[in-house]
Amino acid sequence: MDTPSPPAADNEMPREEESLEREEAPPWFAPPMGPEDVAAVETLLGYEFGDKSLVGEALTHGSYYYPYPPGDSTYERLEYLGDGVLTCLMSREVFLTYRSLPPGPLTRLRAANVDKEKLARVAVEHGIHRFLRHKAPQLDGQIDDFIKELCKYKYHSNGLLDAPKVLSDIVESLIGAIYLDSNFNQEVVWRVFRNLADPLISLETLGKHPVSELLEFCQKTRRGLQFVKDGWDKHLKVDVLVDGCGRQEVFLRSIGEGGGEVLRIAAVLTFFLGGSQQRHLDFSEVVFSFVAFVIFKSYSYDSLSANASILFQLVLLLRRLVSY
């Protein structure tokens, strides 16, 4: 007589059912963000979500799932929404704050307050980056490098810092999530963002980027502008081609990541200093030239050209002081 098999224990799943459950779980499955993390993010934002799942979605990078899941489980759609909302709200803010300011400066003010670097600063300063869900190891290194360099610039580096895009993305996606969760209430979104972004970059704290200066100059004088970058071995070269102003060539020793932006600044400085010949610059010359340019940034283009010799002497003086 066959002995009947004992019933399965309560905590023991029959193998057939276990196999079926494993097969039903999609390969890209990942657990939702835990309630403690959701609550912590809500505290950072100063906003309580009705739909808690939006928090996890807004902080989930595409690398978190592999293979990529069907549907919209990452922050990309929310980031798209938040980007548009922030642009609209910041346009309103600068328009109402600076009632006599023309469109050019208004655009720069708006851009400086919602660009990649500003939003990345918001993410780091409030610790939002700690809740980013991803499986891309290189992102951690990029974020760490950005945090180390951040203290060198109080408000904005004007393009000298290479902010990881993922940091600005998650701020925009959270803004999009709040906009969606609040039933598209712009005032709620603005209150949250205004607190996160404080202090906003004002007309007084806005530094004018040398490349922006040149772009404005070309627009005002109806000139064409082209940057031509080339590189070989351990050197890089940038040509600045401005219609009717000749060819400005700048050579610079490679300085690693972000060198292209410094090269552009060096090339612009060469243009404003009036030299059409080839110039070989090292990194210190570029930095000191940039400092000198900032000191003279309130000058008009004509007065800056007229005082080019003074500017050059200041650069030399700064170099001597640092060498002591």
DSSP secondary structure of 262-296: HHHHHHHHHHHTT--SEEEE-HHHHHHHHHHHHHT
Give me the pLDDT at residue 134, please: 83
pLDDT in tens, the chain (324 residues): 555 555 555 445 444 444 434 445 454 456 678 899 999 999 999 999 999 999 999 999 877 765 555 444 688 999 999 999 999 999 999 999 999 999 888 988 898 899 999 999 999 999 999 999 887 888 888 889 888 888 877 777 766 677 899 999 999 999 999 999 999 999 999 999 999 999 998 887 776 555 666 666 667 767 666 655 555 444 555 555 666 555 554 444 434 444 455 555 555 655 555 544 444 444 445 544 554 444 444 343 344 444 444 445 444 544 444 443
Give me the pLDDT at residue 281, please: 45
Q: Are 301 and 273 in contact (CB under 8 A)?
A: no
For the chain, list the domains and their CATH numbers: 35-197 (1.10.1520.10), 210-323 (no CATH)
CA distance 150 to 95: 29
Q: Which residues contact 273 (CB under 8 A, 6 or more apart)?
A: 308, 311, 312
- Residue of 44, 237, 41 lying closest to 57 (CA atoms): 41
The rounded Cα 119 to chain-centroid distance in angstroms is 6
Q: Are 124 and 167 in contact (CB under 8 A)?
A: yes
Q: Is the pTM for the entire model greater than 0.75?
A: no
Give me the pLDDT at residue 148, please: 86
CA distance 114 to 235: 34
CA distance 199 to 112: 12
